[in-house]
Structures are given as C-alpha cells and as structure tokens.
Structure 1
C-alpha cells in the first residue's frame, strides 16, 4: 500500500480515537457536578469541550513520552514499527474503547491505546520493540499510584469539608457554596484532561510521521497535529458520554456537593502534576479513585463496591485486551495491502455493529439526569438519627444472640450433669 495512503489512514483513525476519548471521558470532569445539580448536563459538556480544547494547547510532554518513549526509536532508521503496525494498534484501542462505552464501563482510553500499540509492536517487530522501562515508569506505575493518591486526597478533603461545616447548636451546615465551587473544580478537571489525553493522540500521529520518515526523530510536535487533536477531543467531549456519566455520577456513590468538590480538586491536581512530568495517566482511573475516596470520607455514605469492582475489572483487562486485538490486527497486516484492507473493513464493521447495538438502548442527557436524580433511592444514606437507631438495633440483636448462646451452653451443661 502507498506510504502516503497508510499515513493518512493512521491519522484519520487516530483522530477518531481522540474523538472517542472525548465522549468516553466527558464523565471524568462533569459527572459529579451533574449529580449534585451544580450544572445542567448540556452546559456541562459544552464547558468541558471548550476547556479540553484549551488544555490541549498547554503542554506536549505526554506526547513526547508516546512518540519517542514507549516504542523504541532509532535516530537513523526511525521507530521499530511502521505505519501499518501503528494502524493495527490503533484499531485495537478504538474497538475496545467503543465496546466499553457500549457497556457503560469507564475503562481507560489511555491503556486501550497503550495496549493496542504494545500488542501490535510485539507482533510486528518482536518484544524488543517495546521500551519496558518507560512503559513501567510512565504508564503502569502511575496507573496504580495516581488513583490511590487521588482517592486518599479526596477522602481527607471530604473529611475536612464536613468538619469545617459541621452542625453547631442545631444550625444547618453551610455547604451550598460547594455546589458553586464545583463549577470551578470540574472546569479544572476538564482543562487538565485536555493537557493529558489529547496529547496521547498527538504522540501517536508524531510516532507515525517519524516511522514513515516524514519527521525527524526527537523533533517537536507539529502545530497542525496539536490543533487537529485539540478539536477532535473537544468535539468528542461535546457529544457527551451519557452512559459513562450515569456510572460515574450515580453508580459509585450518592455524590453531594462537598464531596464532589473534594473529588474534582483531587482529580485535577493529580492529572496536572502527571502532565507536567510526562506521565501518560488514565484520567478515568484517577477520577474513579477520587469519587470512591470522597464517598468513604462522607459519614453515612455507602459506596457501591459491586460497581467499583466492575470498574476495577475493566481497568485490569483493558491493556491486555486491547493488546490482543492490536496484536491480531498486526498479524493480519503482515499480508500487506490486503491485510490492511481486511483490518480496516473488520474494524469498520465492528464499529457499526456496536453503534447499532447502542441504538437499542440509547442514553441521552435526559435519561442520564433522571438516573442521577433517582440515585438516592438506590443508595442507603442514613441520617444521624437513623445511624443511632441502627446502631442500637444492632447492639440489641448482638446481646440477644449472646444470651441465646449462653442459654444453649447452659442447657448442654445440664444434660452432661444429668448423664
């Protein structure tokens, strides 16, 4: 296949991935303020789109990690894999991204991308094509550490927020301000998302240009690449990810303004720091960790651990699943032009099939808002009086059980004595 044509195909697919990343990760910034009523869904996604666009122009450190870090690069011959292999890896990432969107599972778009590229690189050029040191230090370790740090931070911030606004002398706590503060904190998350996630696609396109000899290794990301990726992720964000907003906004815990504010500030801090250091972070994982941490920090809130476990399972399988799909696509592309055409057609058919399935149970901003509004009925959040009553009932039940046990033991002793 003509080199120019395959490069165009890769760029088009990369921008489509960037688009899916946008609607897949809209929930990272806007699910909690929607859940608390701080902002309407339509305004939320519009604001997130604008700030994702702005954030994409602020840094290129993450793009450098991808274009010249994860896949080994030779200053003379370029990267170890060609555009066809990158196309195969991208296809694996896109298919997994769309599948998790269909299931409403906020998996990591970032890890889908890394998994697809790594799988394609290993199949296309062997295990030596991957720089495992960079993969470990800038992808895998941050995937474990960042959500934990964000979760702990959100837990402590939520505790502090409720301590500061604690009821005194029968007066109601003044927590309404947190609802308005969420507009700022969620905007910061959207901005930070643009600084990290849009750069991943910039890195892939730059990697393709270097691999095809159209750009020198180690040179900066071209401005047209930055602009194209910024607009693609912003457009994707504006379409909204209502299925995932449903899970993030009401599926993990019943979010209140104070804890939502704490979760968003923790998420934004972790992402902005990671972008500065060039860590290709999963914004979904950080946001989920923050939401769970804030839920644990609020007295009376019961986290839906079943939902949290389902999300963690999605994280666990994202990278290897995308790697398998990317590796399979790379194996097919070894057939040359015919292989690339097969991968392209199979990928297109899979995308259309997922879209058709999604239309059978469409989620829009109206249905997402309804689910969020009704989430309180599915989450057991007890008032102070109810918690005391529950504690007393549990204590009485425990005492009754102990008395019954003592009576049984006494009866058994009497039987032994009579014998």
Structure 2
C-alpha cells in the first residue's frame, strides 16, 4: 500500500525485513525440534540460534541470481554459519513449511492489531450514540423523509455492525492462525510430525489437519472477506455522514483543522473528504476479497498462482483496513452534530413525518383501510397537512417526534450492554 494510506504499526508487520525475521524464527524452532529428536547436534543448534536475521537487501541481491526467494533467504541466513552447521538448516522441510507457518504467525498478529482498532471504533460509536441518544432527527428511507428517530439510534446501528465485524475477524483469525511443517506433499515423508507440533505450539498456531504442501487457502479467503465486510461497515458510516453533510441538510460536519482548505477555486467549500476517502478504500477491500476467493482452488497439492496475489492483497488489505478504521474512529469521535438542524428538518415538511401515526390511530378507531389511507394521503398533498387534518376533525396536538420513540429504551438497553464490553 502507498504510504498515504499506511500506518507504521501495520505496515511494519508486512515489511520484507519482518518476513525474514519470522522465517528465521521458524527455522530456529524447527532446528530446536530436530535437536530434541536427536537429529541436529546441540552445537549446531547453538550456532543456528546465533546467526543474525538476513538483511532484506542481501536476500534481494541473492535472488537476482537464484530467482527463488526462499533459497535466497536460506543462502543469506547460512552465510555466517560454518558448513557443518548450515547443512542442518531447513532439514526435511519444503519451502512452504517455512512460508505458510511464518505467514500464519504474521496474520495472527495483524488480526490482533486490526481487531483492537475495530474495537476502539465500536467503543467510539457506542459512546457517541449514548451522547446523542435523545437527539431527535428524521429517519429517511429511499432518501426521503420517513419517521422521526434519533441520531443516537443511527450510531447504535453502526456500533452493532462493527461489533459483528469484530466477531467475524476473531473467527477468521482462529481459522488463519495455523501452520504446517509436513514436507513436499504434506505426508511428513522426510520430517517427524513432532517438528510441526513444536514449531506451531511455540508460535501459538494451530496445525493444518490434512495438509497438501500448503495451508488451505479458504482460510485466507475467509479472512479477507471479513476484512472487506468490516470495510463495508465503515463505508456505511462514511456514506451516512456524507449525506448528512450536504449543504441543504447540514445535520453533521466532519472535523476540521484551522488550516483546512476544501477547494482550490471555491474558498467556501467544506467537503466531506474523509468520508469520501473511506468509501473509496472500501471498494479496494471488496476487490481484494474477490481475488482471494480465486486463490482457493490450486492445482493438485499446490501451485504458485496464489503467491503473487497474496504478496499484494494480504499486506494491502490489512493496511487499508487499519487506516480506514483508524480514520473512521477519529471522524466519529470529533464529528460536529447540529441538533437544531435535525429538528428543523422534521418541522420543515409541516408534520408529514407523522402520517404513519395518524394512519395507525385512525385504523384502530375503525373504518376501511383504503379510504383512511387516501384521506391522509390527500391531506399530505394539500400543502398544509396538519391544517387539513384539523379541518377533518383530527386532534394534532399529540403529534410530536416523541410519539415515535416510546419503545427506544429496549434499544438503549442493548446499546448499554454493548458499551459494557469495552469497560
């Protein structure tokens, strides 16, 4: 991902140097297991442990001749070892015993970081929802005025969506945090299963139960689909704030610095650029999810078609989502809300937002539904809805926004339960 949309703590997890550090850790653990089995001498293990992590620049230099990153890494790793030590490195292993096990470890750490970030967004949404629980606003369906709701209710729906995303990510983490050290076609032909058990346990990973040569790629597809769904939930927040920021609506406004400039030509502009950016990034994540689904079906025990995709998608998906969720948290936390504009929007239509309450009450009083509906619809089209109702003998005094909020406490209780997760 380009630096503009990368935060350092996530980007570092996917750097070349971090990858070679993880590979080194796997090689040391595998050699340690082989020593416990009596197959690698203690003295050799000590020197393997002491060998430094290869520099990314050196691996790249060697790869220019070998055209094979793992062999280049192993060559760089073994450069500082005597030959009688180097020969024990990678004993009985194939390339993806190293790559996939280290990848499982990296993805678990990246999941933890993204989950923590999403939990902060959930908490921020829940707190803002509680703050604005009684801030009455108009609900809209099809982009048109519907019935009164509250801004807190809107934010609560977003908080629960993020909570579901957190749960999906946790499940995906469990599925992707696995490794395999099982040999060229997953049969443990040249390596004792104890090596896999030892390595994966030390890294906090599960074991692929029936490996081919690689960890099954439906795991990674599930993970990126969960990330893309999180991105879509963030997009939902962004789209709502963008719609409510429009000049003729202006019920909310994105946080701004004193130095903000919205247009090179029009100094008055205060564009919802953060929300627009978050929307665009969600599109990237959906594309990444589709690419990872293409990676599930590999030829026989494996091919290499998934590798190039994953080199782009996995770092990009995590980096984009981490940036997007972090930016969304700041957007929600510092969002300016205009309650008076929200109430004015309800009043602007002269009581049309109350038509469903009038319909329900008239139906309860008796009468034919179609006739009642058409009478109220005609009053709505008259240009003076409340006046027409009063002219027909209807008491409009009880028509207020709070008429529609009598059962909000049940939702508020659910919100409070969600807030308790973060305390």
Q: TM-score surpassing 0.5?
A: no
- Greater strand share, 1 or 2? 2
Provide the TM-score with structure 2 as the length reference: 0.29
Provide the TM-score with structure 1 as the length reference: 0.30
Larger Rg: 2
- Greater helix share, 1 or 2? 1
Asked which structure has the greater RCO (Cα within 8 Å, sep 6+), the reply is 1
